């Protein structure tokens, strides 16, 4: 077996591709290689199926293989079956070359073995080159797409890492600003100064929530999932506390809370507080005030609890497939709340980390219902 290719001093204008030729007759290999040899094509030649398999172990990324059907010891069909059985070579396009008659059964056998085409001797040089060029171009495009995907993946990873570092480092100066604003608010009696300090505190806290959302996004994408600190948690008491906080923020809205069964489980209470706060806040902000937001907590099952939040109003059908996507959830909602569009995404990641599920039902009636199913026990963090 041998390899033909470009000389050491040659510089190909396009990326080189590898083409495997397998034939037990030296003169056939020489003729095929002469027809296919170019500066951008590296020709690999084998006199037997065993030699071909050895070459395939040595060379990665072969673009095309021409296999002679009739060879001693291992024919082309057997070689093709072995190639299809290996993950390393199963995707290499195979063209069978045969001097036999146009036997329909043989053609079917060849296609079953993984062939993409048959060529019959004597070969037409123009047909051979054109067929080979199609697969060479497809291979180059595949290589280019793989390279672009690798570059985009690395760019995305670096961007998310930068976002995580930036979000973490922003917390220190923001904390200093909030401390100064709080001190200013407490130390002065000037109404104008107190009003400005109050605005600074409100804006700073909102910015702090945005930073935490960004950090949660980075944790979910870079750290293999949002980490949990589990402990025995009463979800009913947790929701009641969140309801009291939202009553103060939305006095014009009312909340109807109904609890049933045992609502205690092994969860991260801080993370579930985020879940409850985000879902209740969304319902209050975007629901119709004509009826109360309904909260249902069902702990009647031994292995899990169900938490649902229902409000009057329907989410547009075109937005529903993207509700849990980061930044794509609802652009209109972000405009109204000043958030980043990460709330529902983070809710989903927290629930998945608890091995639970969250879904939404909207459009079948007057209400939109977010429903969370939360297993009571679990210690692992799902890798996302």
pLDDT digits (tens, 9 = 90+) for 61-110: 899 999 988 888 888 888 888 998 888 888 899 988 887 666 666 666 66
pLDDT of residue 102: 62
The CATH number of the domain covering residues in 159-222? 1.10.287
Give whole-number Cα distances, 46 to 25, 78, 96, 196, in Å: 10, 15, 14, 82
Tell me what the pLDDT averaged over the chain comes to: 82
**Whether the Cβ atoms of residue 174 and residue 208 lie closer than 8 Å to each other:** yes
Instruction: Give the pair of three-digit tokens for residue 320.
Output: 């529903």
Q: Could you tell me if 294 and 283 are in contact, meaning their C-beta atoms sit under 8 angstroms apart?
A: no
- How do residues 325-342 score in pLDDT, each as one tens digit? 876 654 444 444 445 567
Beta bridge partners of 18: 42, 62
Domain boundaries, the chain: 2-123, 159-222, 231-375
How high is the pLDDT of residue 103?
A: 61
For 231-375, give the CATH class: alpha beta
User: Does residue 344 surpass a pLDDT of 80?
Assistant: yes
The residue-averaged pLDDT of 111-126 equals: 78
Q: What are phi and psi of 42, to 5 degrees?
A: -100, 120
pLDDT tens-digit series, residues 131-158: 899 999 999 998 889 888 888 878 777 7
pLDDT of residue 98: 83
Residue 215 CB neighbour total at 10 angstroms: 18
Is the pLDDT at 352 greater than 60, yes or no? yes
Assigned fold of 2-123: Rossmann fold (3.40.50)
């Amino acid at each position: 077996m041998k390899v033909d290719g470009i000389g050491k001093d040659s510089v190909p204008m396009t990326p080189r591709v590898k083409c495997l030729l397998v034939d037990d007759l030296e003169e056939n290999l020489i003729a095929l290689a002469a027809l296919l040899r170019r500066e951008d094509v590296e020709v690999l030649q084998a006199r037997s199926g065993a030699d071909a398999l050895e070459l395939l172990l040595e060379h990665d990324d072969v673009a095309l293989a021409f296999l002679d059907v009739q060879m001693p010891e291992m024919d082309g069909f057997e070689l093709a079956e072995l190639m299809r059985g290996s993950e390393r070579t199963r995707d290499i396009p195979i063209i069978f070359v045969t001097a036999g008659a146009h036997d329909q059964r043989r053609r079917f056998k060849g296609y079953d073995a993984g062939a993409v085409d048959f060529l019959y001797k004597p070969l037409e040089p123009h047909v051979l080159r054109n067929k080979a060029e199609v697969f060479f171009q497809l291979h180059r495009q595949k290589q280019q797409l793989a390279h672009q995907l690798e570059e985009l993946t690395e760019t995305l990873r670096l961007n998310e890492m930068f976002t995580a570092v930036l979000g973490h480092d922003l917390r220190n100066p923001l904390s200093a600003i909030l401390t100064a604003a709080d001190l200013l608010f407490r130390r002065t009696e000037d109404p104008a100064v107190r009003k400005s300090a109050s605005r600074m505190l409100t804006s700073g806290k909102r910015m702090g929530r945005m930073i935490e959302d960004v950090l949660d996004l980075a944790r979910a994408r870079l750290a293999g999932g949002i980490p949990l600190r589990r402990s025995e948690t009463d979800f009913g008491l947790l929701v009641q506390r969140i309801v009291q906080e939202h009553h103060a923020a939305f006095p014009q809205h009312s909340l109807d809370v109904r609890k049933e069964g045992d609502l205690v489980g092994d969860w991260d209470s801080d993370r579930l507080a985020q879940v409850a706060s985000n879902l209740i806040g969304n319902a209050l902000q975007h629901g119709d005030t004509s009826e109360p937001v309904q909260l249902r907590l069902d702990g009647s099952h031994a292995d899990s609890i169900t938490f649902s939040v229902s409000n009057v109003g329907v989410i547009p059908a075109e937005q529903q497939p993207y509700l849990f996507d980061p930044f794509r959830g609802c652009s209109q909602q972000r405009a109204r709340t000043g958030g980043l569009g990460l709330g529902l995404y983070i809710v989903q990641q927290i629930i998945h980390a608890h091995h639970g599920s969250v879904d939404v039902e909207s459009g079948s009636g007057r209400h939109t219902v977010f429903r969370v199913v939360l297993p009571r026990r679990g210690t692992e963090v799902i890798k996302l």
